[in-house]
Amino acid sequence: MQFIEPKNKNADKVDWLISEQVREIVKNYAEYCEYDESEVVDKFLKNLIDDKKFIDWVNGIRNNKRMIKKMGLEERMED
């Protein structure tokens, strides 16, 4: 049995400017996936932590422990 996870842990409303094209892509992709738009953006942006160069950059920053913790990368940095 798998338990239900909360959808938006610590979600904050953000004030970003994005192009009309990106808004349309997100809107249509959300409809396709049957998620709401914020869920699509949340899931997609979490893929950024798979960028090895980004992880190497984070790992190279001095005093990065708080950043690593907030991004949930503790296990990945132990490797």
The pLDDT of residue 79 is 54
pTM score:
0.71
In whole angstroms, give the CA distance from residue 38 to residue 8. 9
pLDDT band at 11 (very low <50, low <70, confident <90, very high): confident
DSSP for residue 68 = H
Structure tokens at 2: 């798998």
Nearest to 30 by CA among 10, 22, 49: 22
pLDDT digits (tens, 9 = 90+) for 27-68: 999 999 999 999 899 999 999 999 999 999 998 888 888 999
